[in-house]
Amino acid sequence: MTSTPTSTATELDRPRFFVDGEWVTPRGSETHRAIEAATGEPLGTAALGTAADVDDAVRAARRALDAGPWGRTTPAERAAVLRRVADALAARAADTSRLVSRENGMPIRLSEGSNGIVPPVLLRMYADLVERLPFEEVRRSPTGATIVRREPVGVVGAITPWNYPQALAMFKIAPALAAGCTVVLKPSPETALDSYVLGDAAVEAGLPPGVLNIVLAGREPGRSLVSHPLVDKIGFTGSTAAGRAIGAECGRLIRRCTLELGGKSAAIVLDDADLDLLRAGLSTAAFQNNSQTCTTQSRILAPRSRYTEVVDAVAQFCRELVVGDPLDPATTLGPMVSEDHRDRVLGYVDIARAAGARLVTGGGRPRGLDRGWFVEPTVFADVDNADRLAREEVFGPVIAVIPYDDDEDAVRIANDSEYGLAGSVWTADEDRGLALAGRVRTGTIGLNRYSIDLGAPFGGMKASGLGRELGPEALDAYLEYKSLYVGADRLG
């Protein structure tokens, strides 16, 4: 029933799940065939779980919390374990980064950061935070004193997407484990193979059985995780449509949830913007990870007084991108994650054309890249903010440039969206830019740049989600507060 965990360096198939500290045989027989994004060739095979597999994992997590050693650990003890897991992941970082790039097409330099460096950094950051956090304090009250305790929320179901699989898993796992919770991770089948490196690292680091469990599964078993009676919280990153369904179920069950959902963010280019600075920042603001990023600023708002200049600058940036093999360090734009997703992205090109938008560059498959799921970086001008290209999340390198009249008009257009996750303002006048950025209803926004800060809260407004990840604030999502009313003699 169990086997020795395999190494991502020598064996890609993952026929078992990581449950209760062991590699266990699945209950069902369904598998997922992973396809390399850049070649369209088979990459490996992974087992897909059933609701019964999810149930096994949840019960293991509950035992580890209620009856196992994890529920009795001190913050210092948890911090020590997290640092050992960080070391084990860091030792595997190069292999993991390459594997993710093969799975989803992420350029290797980005993958080395987000899938190699970020997970250990987050584990160490939350280890440091919980060692400093007062998990208990005594407060004076009118009738004596109150002991205020922070306790783990319980068993966490973590559901993660394919675009930043290691980093986004650790956005949830690191603060959850630091807080004293146990976790059941359900990764996305599109990146079916890399998630199990977390199990390998857990074994090496001596993480107690059941504290972290990993079951790859599709939608129906995922629903069973959300509704499982022994789960206390759901942490989800994914589409807004799926987030609405998860939020509704958690609301019905009175269950805590953190939802990091989609976006259709705006980059506002003011009339005094340095366009060289804009071009330098587009790689992270609009084209990071082949634009398969929830924070992609795919609406570029340009003043009519400089509209042609902005359109030309964005188009020139796209023409200079190096499209190709994601494992080549020179590549700056890799393929889409799958054939279906590539076709979906190209479908938006047809939608934009039909709406009357002007194609400036791109719009098809790159020449010479007949294998794999590549899309040319594409820019449409003269887009109306009411068009589907401006309303819906494409999740690929198809950018809309939208004209505006003045600052008030720019803010109105930026806020005229159901989403509110990211954004940026580009200007030579920082005070003007900060004032305008403060009026955009979004969870994160950059001034002449856009780059996520791991030490600051991250999340969205409106249909872009509920709650925050990252920073010290993320710990609150995995803690409950308890007040114990006692006598005044407890005051120090």
Task: Enumerate the active-site residues.
Answer: 260
**3-state SS class at 74:** coil
435/116 Cα distance (integer angstroms): 36
Residue 100, class by beta-carbon neighbours within 10 Å (0-12 exposed, 13-18 middle, 19+ buried)?
Answer: buried
What is d(CA 484, CA 492) in angstroms, rounded to the nearest whole number? 16
φ, ψ for residue 459, nearest 5 deg: 165, 180
- The pairing of beta strand 22-24 with beta strand 17-19: antiparallel
Residue with tokens 């890249």: 369
Return the amino acid letter for 193: L
Q: Which two tokens stand for residue 146?
A: 């109150």
Rounded CA-CA distance 450/114 in Å is 15
Q: Any idea what DSSP says for residue 441?
A: -
Q: In angstroms, how far apart are the furthest CA atoms of the chain?
A: 78
**Which has the closest alpha carbon to 137: 145, 128, 127?**
145
φ and ψ at 266, to 5 degrees? -115, 135
Name the residue type at position 18: F
Residues facing residue 482 across a β-bridge: 149
453: buried, middle or exposed (CB in 10 Å: 19+, 13-18, 0-12)? Answer: exposed
SS3 call for 14: strand
CA angle at 455 for the pair 454 and 457, rounded to the nearest 5°:
85
CA angle at residue 21 from 20 to 22, to 5 degrees?
Answer: 95
Asked if residue 179 lies in contact with residue 66, where contact means CB atoms within 8 angstroms, the answer is: no
Q: Helices 118-132 and 165-179: crossing angle, nearest 10°?
A: 20
Q: What is the DSSP string of 88-142?
A: HHHHTHHHHHHHHHHHH---HHHHIIIIIIHHHHHHHHHHHHHHHS-SEEEEEET
SS3 of 453-485: the string is CCCCCECCEECCEECCECCCHHHHCCEEEEEEE
